[in-house]
Amino acid sequence: MSWESTTLYYRLINEATRERRGGFHSAPIAMVSVDFAEIEALQRSGDWHAAGAQLADDARAIERAGADVLLICTNTMHKVAGAIAEAIDIPLLHLADATAERIRADGLDRVALLGTRFTMAEMFYRGRLEAQGLTVDVPNSGDMDLVHEVIFDELCQGVINPDSRADYRRIIDALAADGTQGVIAGCTEIGMLVSPEDCPVPLYDTTMIHAQAAVDWALSD
């Protein structure tokens, strides 16, 4: 939802398209870049119905623009994925499904989930992963608050804080020590702060996974 991660999606999709097709090829993309302040206020107030209605309108606009498939470029707003999918006739490429598929392909069955408090604490996302055979760990309540606050107070505003990176590393290390086999960067901004080098177990960057899945879908037979 923040333009910080939107730029990552746009770059990754176009890079993957050029890699696959060569030459001057790039990805034809119909995109609605929202005013994130409006969405964040609805999240904070708990008005998910209004948020879903707004994004459903945006999805219809994307479909009218000629898109063949839709991506919701945020983990948290998959909380309203059902309302969005019902509003359109094109398929919705669900981020949690793409992530679970990648994890299962790597032979893992227990992963930790980092993201906003909504994503970590509620079941709209975790439940989707668990339905595909994964055991999902989350940080303790205090660390959950820290992860959430860094996303909203720093990453969504383009702030990269070395102290926050150290905090995330500490949280990841604790989860790995407790037996998790991999870590899902379950917010599309987290990849701005931590990389595989920060993680003692495989790190699954959902932004990269979703972008690659979109290109795979678009260029498949």
Given 6, 17, 73, 74, which residue is catalytic?
74
In angstroms, rounded to a whole number, what is the distance separating the alpha carbons of residues 61 and 47? 22
Active site residue 74: yes
DSSP string of 127-140, one letter each residue: HHHHTTT-EEE---
Report helix, strand or coil for 99. Answer: helix
Residue count (the chain): 221
Q: Which of 116, 187, 199, 206 is catalytic?
A: 187
Rounded to whole angstroms, the Cα distance separating 196 from 79 reads 27
Phi first, then psi, for residue 135 (nearest 5°) are -90, 130
Q: What are phi and psi of 198, to 5 degrees?
A: -90, 0
Rounded to whole angstroms, the Cα distance separating 99 from 207 reads: 10
Cβ 94 vs Cβ 65: under 8 Å: no
Distance CA 50, CA 39 (A): 9
**Annotation marks residue 156 as catalytic:** no
Residues 40-70 as b or e (16 or more Cβ within 10 Å = b)? bebbeeeebeebbbbbbebbbebbeeebeeb
Active site residues: 74, 187
